[in-house]
Chains A and B, each alone.
Chain A
Amino acid sequence: MAGMLPPAERRTSALVALYVALSLLLLLIGERLPQAILRGAGATLFAPLDRIVLAGDRLAASWRENQRLHQRVTELELENARMRDAVTENSQLRERLGLAVARDLTLRPVELLALSGEPVPASATLSAGWMQGARAGDVVVTSDGLVGRVTEVYPASSRAAMLTDPNAPVACVVESTGVLGIVRFVNAPRPRLLFTAVPFTDTVRVGQKVLTSSLSRRYPRGIPVGVVTGIGRDPSGLMQLIEITPAARMSRLRHVFLLPGPGPVPSGLAVPAPGAAPPVPAVRR
């Protein structure tokens, strides 16, 4: 059959066969290849181009955003004055109860260069790498809430798994009631963010806020994750199926902030100082 084809067509057929064989081979053994190195090279190569493409869009938005930010800064300064007083009172009370005092969070602003993954973007390329002080495990947030976590760090850029990555669940808590659960993104039957592992004995209502919990080994506690928008029954019938809307606007990300991730000891398991009163166990209501 191959002998019947003209030479040019034979070459084309051989080329296609080679590509198909390579694709099939990659489908089978691609997971074992060092993909992070290749992605790192790609991210480094594309970062300047991403910046150029995004420059126009960002210039147009910057004037409007600047006005809004001025207003927001004024509001936050007023609120900050009230909060400072509350923080002093809170740390005094926590000290007396022997609870671990929350550490200050240092925000490092970075630019979001590109989003990847489909149908919903699940990872983001950030403009800071190890040369700018970014580390694997750093938490990515916006002023609205949690975006994700840095998973791969290259010299001048990094890659973050977003909240919309089905393989990046987050231990969370309902703000007002202390109900614990796991927030995870699912693609099927339709893409949505779910607050899972919540038994029917726990009461959760629409409109309640969900935050990262102190049980998380990967995220500092108290970062807004989303708001409860729907409650149903898990297919197993044993747990609630709670749908939440992300606090951060995932489709409008331009600038984000990096927070250092928690250390090896989760904050909820901090050892009290010698002689201090034992910590009060958390009561689930």
Chain B
Amino acid sequence: MRALSAFVVALAAVLLLRSTALSAFAARGIVLDALAFATVVWSLRHGPAWGSSFGFALGIAADLDAGHWLGRHALVLTLLGYAVGRLASTLVRESTRTQIALLITATAIHQTWSALFELTSWSAWPYLALRIVLSTLASAALGALLLAIAKRLAGGPLFGNVSVQPGQTR
């Protein structure tokens, strides 16, 4: 029950942040990918089953909010959640380098997939490529910084040490 409440609260928080604070950045051309960030963090912490469920629920909500292409975000975030969740058991999850690498990969995949739906002509690809690169770098840098701050505030590891598998507690 507690896990489900955390799941719903995290979903609502990401969607709220996306439609309020982050939309102002998006209007200025800087897309901070909160969806990919949240899916990566959730999957690192809770493993593949919860990661893919979180990605799917977040994706469906984002698709509904965007008002078109239902299933677009849901598909890619489900797969990202599953992949990161699977990798989480073999990675040093507390390492900033690991987090940056995962955030870069996940944001790049998510943004590229979203951009494919907007590619109406080949003349658009330089702009879209630039947007993907900027979004990936900005999201990864800000995401890693947020995780570092959260770790400092928590006073301990965010994802547990190597002996603790994702989705389990000590």
* Chain B positions within 8 Å of A115 at CB level: 19-20, 23-24, 26-27
A182 within 8 Å of B by Cβ? no
CA distance A128 to B55 in the complex (A): 31
Asked if A27 contacts B71 (CB within 8 A), the reply is: yes
A15 and B49 in contact (CB under 8 A), knowing A20-B79, A187-B120, A190-B127? yes
Query: Do the beta carbons of B49 and A12 come within 8 Å of each other?
Result: yes
| Contact stretch, chosen from B62-70, B90-98, B101-109, B140-148 | B62-70
Interface size on B, residues (CB 8 A): 50
| CB-contacts of A1-26 with B (<8 A) | 8, 11-12, 15-16, 19-20, 22-26
The minimal Cβ–Cβ distance linking A155 to chain B, given in whole angstroms, is 18
Residue of B with least CB distance to A31: B70
Chain B residues touching A, majority SS: helix
B15 CB to closest chain A CB (Å) equals 7
Given A121-B26, A251-B24, also A30-B66 (CB < 8 A):
no
Q: How far is the CA of A187 from the CA of B131 in the complex (A)?
A: 12
A121 and B72 CA atoms in complex are apart in Å by: 17
B56 sits at the interface (CB 8 A):
yes
With A23-B75, A35-B64, A49-B16 in contact, do A119 and B23 touch (Cβ < 8 Å)? no
Evaluate contact between B20 and A19: CB separation under 8 angstroms: no
In the bound assembly, the distance between CA atoms of A252 and B20 in angstroms comes to 11
Interface residues of B in 27-55 (CB under 8 A from A): 27-29, 31, 47-49, 52-53, 55
Residues of A within 8 Å of B26, CB to CB, are 115, 118-121
A281 sits at the interface (CB 8 A): no
- Once the chains bind, are B63 and A26 in contact (CB under 8 Å)? yes
Given known pairs A25-B71, A39-B67, A188-B127, the reply for A50 and B20 (CB within 8 Å) is yes
Candidates B23, B67, B78, B118; contact of A114 at CB < 8 Å: B23
Contact A27 B72 (CB under 8 A): yes
Looking at chain A's contact residues, the main secondary structure is: helix
User: Which residues of B sit under 8 angstroms from A26, Cβ to Cβ?
Assistant: 60, 63, 70-71, 74
Chain A residues whose CB sits within 8 angstroms of the CB of B16 once the complex forms:
46, 49-50, 53, 114
Asked if B155 is at the interface of the complex by the 8 Å CB criterion, the answer is: no
**A122 → chain B closest CB, angstroms:** 8
Q: Does B112 contact A (CB under 8 A)?
A: no
> Which of A19, A28, A31, A114 has a CB less than 8 Å from the CB of B52?
A19
B16 CB, nearest partner CB in chain A, Å: 5
B56 & A19 in contact (Cβ 8 Å cutoff): yes
The contact sample of 30 A-B pairs, CB cut-off 8 A, is A12-B82, A16-B48, A16-B79, A19-B74, A22-B56, A22-B71, A23-B75, A25-B71, A26-B63, A26-B71, A26-B74, A27-B71, A30-B63, A30-B69, A38-B64, A46-B15, A50-B16, A50-B19, A53-B17, A114-B23, A115-B23, A115-B27, A117-B66, A119-B26, A121-B26, A125-B19, A187-B120, A188-B121, A189-B124, A191-B29
Name 4 extra pairs, CB < 8 A, besides A118-B31, A187-B118, A191-B29.
Answer: A16-B79, A114-B23, A188-B128, A251-B24
Residues of A that sit less than 8 Å from B by CB: 8, 11-12, 15-16, 19-20, 22-28, 30-31, 33, 35, 38-39, 42, 46, 49-50, 53-54, 57, 114-123, 125, 159, 187-191, 250-252
